[in-house]
Amino acid sequence: MGNHIELSVVVLCYRAEEEIIGFIDKLKKILDPLTPNWQMVLVGNYIPGSDDRTKDIIFELAKQDSRLKPIAKPKEGMMGWDMRSGLAEADGDIICVMDGDGQFPIESIETGYKMIRDSGYDMVKSYRETRHDGFYRRTISGVYNSLFTILFPGFKVNDANSKPKFFTKKAYQKMKLSSDDWFVDAEIMINVRRHKMKFAEFPVVFEELTNRKSFVKVGAIIEFIRNLIVYRIREFGEKAE
């Protein structure tokens, strides 16, 4: 791919299998009018020995379109590790990361890209104004965002975990992300706060996940809360030095 890349979209495809085919087709139709110089990084990391066919599917799709960049490694972590694997391979001046399960409206790519391209923001993200994903997920998200507000006062973010998220390449490189688990979204926003980045949010409708159960388990919730507290204590330590 010889052209300069203006936009890289990192799609988290874990266990999407055949459903990712239609998702990618729809995403292409949205990206083409936005910029001719886009790239799609498809993250199909997998658990060795599992029956997940996603890795084979994304490599087959990439044979048909050089703008698709597949990544499939044996998993060494959860969503955060997948996200960092994809972001590290993104070549664009602007980088977007999104889930490939269709819960977030794929059309929001256009809104977020135009906001960050035309406004001078370092980072732009969605927030879930309307949610159809059930009481369990809404409750978890509410707890997450309330704790974030309490522990990191003076920094208003409506929905830390929401995607898609867009960064300039420069902003992403400043973040030096390290989380391997579900905390990575909060780590991104903590970095936005720490580096005093200019950011904005826009509303989306979050759909119900009908084809599988949520990957967010009780252990992930506990780990998330622990990490929030650890990062806050670490910030206090940095200010005391």
Domain boundaries, the chain: 7-240
State the pLDDT at residue 83: 97
Structure tokens at 64: 């048909």
pLDDT at 1: 45
CA 25, CA 41: separation in Å to the nearest integer? 14
Q: Which residues contact 19 (CB under 8 A, 6 or more apart)?
A: 101, 102, 211
CA distance 170 to 241: 27
Per DSSP, the three-state class of 13 is: coil
Spell 53-72 as b/e; 16+ CB within 10 A means b. Answer: ebbebbeebbeeeebbbbbb
Helices (H), the chain: 19-34, 54-64, 79-87, 108-119, 135-151, 169-175, 184-194, 218-240
Q: Is the dihedral of CA 137, 140, 145, 146 positive or negative?
A: positive
Q: What pLDDT does residue 225 have?
A: 82
Contact partners, residue 33, CB within 8 Å, separation at least 6:
none
Q: Is the separation of the CB atoms in 66 and 40 below 8 Å?
A: no
Give the other-Cβ count within 10 Å of 15's Cβ. 19
Task: Output the pTM of the full model.
Answer: 0.89
Going residue by residue through the chain (241 aa), what tens digit of pLDDT does each one get? 457 999 999 999 999 999 999 999 999 999 999 999 999 999 999 999 999 999 999 999 999 999 999 999 999 999 999 999 999 999 999 999 999 988 888 999 999 999 999 999 999 999 998 887 766 677 777 778 888 888 888 888 999 989 999 999 999 999 999 999 889 999 999 999 999 999 999 999 988 666 555 555 656 677 788 888 888 888 765 654 4
Domain 7-240 matching CATH 3.40.228.10: the answer reads no
CA–CA dist 24, 67 (Å, integer) = 11
